[in-house]
């Protein structure tokens, strides 16, 4: 218990209150819009009240002083305790749904319960949904309901010690034995061991194992198999299963990522997910009607990653913005009082673009979720035309959001100065949760190369006047222009400039790839040597999509449902994001578009003006995201803004401060200090 708990005021810091009073829009309206309507906002608040009301004092910080095992066991305990509450809330607020239970184990509120994350996350986000999405009705009935209720706990075991993003290179085998109607699974060498699946170490008793299917030693591609790992009563590993945790990591202390080796492990034939590809009793293999149907799982997960990482970025932005409204330092005018650091233009540049970026990716995610649902419905009806586009789009969003989000979180941490370096600020935990996504579900550079190759292929089709999907429609509109029109400073001009530049990049990559091959390089070597151009083309393809989607979401038909005051605020957020995107990509834009010095000066002024207009509403916008204090878990970002009392309170909680003299003093420090020269 802190010795100065009572010194934390029950009132709001006056500087923070001044920011809220001066806001130019209704925060409640923003919150309702952000959370999908007043009913959803009300439900969110009720859930948080039920989940957080009885958490002990200092709960969010206590785990920082636990051992590795204690952190894990504490998170398992909290999952079990939360399950009771979440099930009751689900039955009360939305009977028959899954948004609260088990969905509440992996949404924004979950960070309030699990400050070090938890080992059931992969089970909820992947194991359950893969069964429901790619299992037959019989498999969903057998496995899905039990998994949803956590009667069985699974993980998604794809990545291996020596292979990750390159799924075709996976070495784990599943051989069909027609005599017993079983698959026999093996990891043939150390490099084939499954590595990184969340919860695999000591939590999951099943795994969705991604393996190469062989029937009579004939390869039939990558398939997914439900493999029991541990005894349902004792939780001991089953015969042939070598399993454990991979060790401590930069973040996600409680996720319990593990390794898995399989030695002659047998499972029934019906444990292979067979909604699309099938193996009959006699060993006949029926291929999926779409060769890349398994990508649906990764598309879903990448959409989830974008949703989560944009949320993490905005949580960090909320902490840094509130702190910047409270912290006073460095007079702008000599002999004047120290201003709030948010009044420094350079500080605004650290904060406000990150808020705009988080909003942009949030809105892009909402749009892509709609596309994903349509893609799943079409796949269920035997239509798979949309799959390639969804794969490329989800890759692009995953890459951009994790890259921009992680860089943004670090900028925000730096914006808080030395205090942001404390774990009590929680920015390190937020970064640790976010940065892992840079690698999992497709390492970002590898994904950019996949997108780049798809763009070059699309460009070749465009040159041959073959039809293209809607994702590449900007090729035609851009290439119809002999040169880009005169810059007019409009938002549409910015979008067209980004699309025009984005269209030129695959053209150049295509031409250079062809030239390298003409000079004698093999296709593989030529593609490798074109990698820089491919990745840059891929990035711009994604950026033009995010900007276009942001513009449509803010100025389109949905704007009519919002008040003029809120629309004005959101239009300034859009302005900041678009202008910043242009300025950040000028090296490519200026290669293809002529901008005068006056045009560039105008862009700079627009940036400064948008930061100025953002200033009186920054705290209120962050309030509108409505992160509960338990979720932020930050002494710098609490709603009341009492930064310094909370900082001191967190220091007093350190286990080192529970006694005035440490044991090492008498044993080591005192002899050192008393030693003679």
Task: Return binding residues for FAD.
Answer: 159, 198
Q: How far apart are CA 167 and CA 40, in angstroms?
A: 39
Q: How far apart are CA 211 and CA 172, in angstroms?
A: 5
Residue whose token pair is 């711009």: 540
Return the closest-CA partner of residue 418 out of 525, 323, 344, 517.
Answer: 323
Q: Are 105 and 79 in contact (CB under 8 A)?
A: yes
Q: How far apart are CA 326 and CA 340, in angstroms?
A: 6
Q: ω into residue 102 within 30 of 0, thus cis?
A: yes
Task: Please report, in range form, the residues annotated as the binding site.
Answer: 159, 198
**Number of Cβ atoms within 10 Å of the Cβ of 428:** 18
Q: Are 305 and 405 in contact (CB under 8 A)?
A: no
**Number of Cβ atoms within 10 Å of the Cβ of 509:** 25
Measured torsion, CA atoms of residues 290, 291, 292, 297, in degrees rounded to the nearest 10: 70
Phi, psi of 647 (to 5 degrees): -60, -45
Give the orientation angle of helix 14-21 with respect to helix 618-625, to 10 degrees: 90
Active-site residue 441, yes or no?
yes
Report DSSP letters for 587-643, one per residue.
HHHHHHS---HHHHHHHHHHHHHHHHHHGGGHHHHHHHH---HHHH--SSS-TT--H
Q: Length of the chain in residues, anyone?
A: 677
- Report the DSSP beta bridge partners of residue 206: 228
Q: In this structure, what token pair is assigned to residue 582? A: 């242009």
Q: How far apart are CA 273 and CA 293, in angstroms?
A: 12
Question: Hey, CA dihedral for 389, 391, 393, 396, is it positive or negative?
Answer: negative
Q: Are 447 and 395 in contact (CB under 8 A)?
A: yes
Q: How far apart are CA 462 and CA 457, in angstroms?
A: 9
The β-bridge relationship of strands 206-215 and 218-228 is: antiparallel
Question: Hey, CA dihedral for 158, 164, 169, 170, is it positive or negative?
Answer: negative
Q: How far apart are CA 294 and CA 135, in angstroms?
A: 11
Residue whose token pair is 């990150």: 354
Q: What is the separation, in whole angstroms, between the first and last Cα of the chain?
A: 43
Report DSSP letters for 32-70, one per residue.
HHHTTSHHHHHHHHHHHHHHHTTPPTTHHHHGGGS-HHH
Q: How far apart are CA 335 and CA 186, in angstroms?
A: 74
Tell me the CA distances in angstroms from 546 to 93, 169, 363, 420, one per residue in order: 34, 32, 9, 30
Per the residue annotation, which of 441, 533, 575, 626 is the catalytic one?
Answer: 441
Q: How far apart are CA 427 and CA 313, in angstroms?
A: 10
Question: Which residue numbers are catalytic?
Answer: 441
């Amino acid at each position: 218990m802190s010795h100065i708990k009572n010194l934390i005021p029950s009132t709001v810091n006056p500087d923070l209150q001044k920011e809220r009073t001066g806001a130019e829009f209704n925060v409640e309206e923003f919150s309702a819009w952000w959370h999908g309507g007043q009913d959803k906002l009300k439900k969110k608040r009720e859930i948080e009240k039920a989940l957080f009301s009885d958490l002990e004092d200092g709960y969010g910080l206590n785990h920082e002083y636990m051992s590795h095992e204690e952190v894990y066991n504490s998170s398992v305990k909290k999952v079990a305790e939360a399950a009771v509450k979440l099930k009751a809330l689900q039955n009360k607020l939305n009977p028959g749904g899954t948004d609260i239970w088990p969905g509440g184990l992996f949404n924004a509120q979950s960070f309030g319960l699990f400050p070090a994350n938890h080992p059931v996350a992969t089970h909820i986000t992947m194991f359950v949904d893969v069964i429901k999405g790619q299992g037959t009705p019989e498999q969903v009935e057998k496995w899905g309901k039990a998994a949803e209720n956590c009667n069985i706990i699974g993980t998604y075991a794809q990545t291996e010690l020596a292979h990750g993003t390159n799924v075709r290179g996976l070495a784990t085998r599943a051989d069909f034995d027609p005599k017993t109607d079983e698959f026999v699974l093996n990891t043939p060498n150390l490099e084939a061991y499954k590595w990184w699946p969340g919860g695999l170490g000591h939590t999951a008793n099943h795994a969705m194992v991604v393996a190469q299917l062989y029937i009579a030693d004939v390869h039939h591609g990558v398939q997914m198999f439900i493999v029991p790992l541990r005894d349902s009563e004792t939780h001991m590993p089953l015969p042939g299963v070598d399993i454990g945790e991979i060790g401590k990591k930069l973040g996600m202390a409680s996720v319990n990522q593990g390794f898995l080796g399989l030695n002659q492990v047998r499972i029934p034939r019906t444990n292979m997910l067979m909604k699309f590809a099938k193996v009959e009793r006699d060993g006949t293999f029926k291929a999926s009607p779409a060769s890349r149907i398994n990508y649906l799982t990764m598309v879903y997960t990448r959409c989830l990653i974008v949703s989560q990482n944009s949320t993490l970025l905005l949580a960090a932005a909320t902490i840094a913005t509130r702190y910047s409204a409270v912290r006073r330092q460095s007079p702008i005018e000599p002999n004047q009082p120290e201003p709030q650091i948010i009044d420094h233009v350079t500080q605004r540049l650290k904060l406000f673009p990150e808020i705009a970026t988080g909003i942009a990716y949030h809105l892009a995610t909402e749009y892509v979720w709609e596309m994903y649902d349509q893609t799943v419905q079409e796949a269920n009806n035997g239509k798979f035309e949309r799959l390639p586009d969804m794969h490329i789009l989800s890759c692009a969003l995953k890459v951009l959001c994790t890259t921009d989000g992680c860089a943004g979180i670090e900028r925000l941490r730096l914006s808080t100065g030395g205090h942001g370096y404390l774990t009590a600020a929680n920015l390190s935990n937020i970064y640790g949760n976010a940065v892992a996504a840079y690698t999992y579900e497709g390492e970002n550079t590898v994904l950019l190369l996949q997108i780049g190759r798809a763009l070059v292929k699309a460009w070749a089709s465009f040159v041959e006047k073959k039809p293209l999907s809607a994702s590449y429609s900007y090729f035609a509109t851009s290439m119809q222009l002999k040169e880009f029109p005169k810059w007019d400073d409009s938002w549409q001009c910015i979008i067209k400039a980004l699309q025009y530049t984005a269209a030129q990049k695959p053209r150049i990559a295509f031409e250079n790839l062809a030239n390298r091959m003409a000079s004698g390089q093999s296709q593989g070597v030529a593609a490798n040597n074109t990698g820089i151009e491919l990745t840059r083309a891929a990035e711009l393809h994604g950026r033009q999509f995010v900007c276009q989607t942001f513009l449509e979401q803010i100025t389109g038909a949905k704007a009519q449902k919002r008040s003029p005051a809120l629309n004005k605020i959101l239009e300034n957020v859009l302005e900041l994001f678009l202008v910043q995107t242009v300025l950040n990509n000028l090296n490519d834009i200026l290669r293809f578009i002529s901008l005068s010095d006056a045009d560039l000066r105008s862009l700079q002024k627009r940036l400064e003006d948008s930061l100025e207009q953002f200033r009186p509403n920054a705290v209120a916008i962050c309030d509108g995201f409505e992160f509960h204090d338990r979720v932020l878990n930050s002494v710098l970002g609490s709603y009341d803004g009492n930064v310094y009392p909370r900082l001191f309170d967190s220091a007093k909680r350190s286990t080192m401060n529970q006694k005035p003299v440490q044991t090492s003093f008498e044993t080591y420090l005192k002899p050192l200090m008393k030693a003679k020269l």
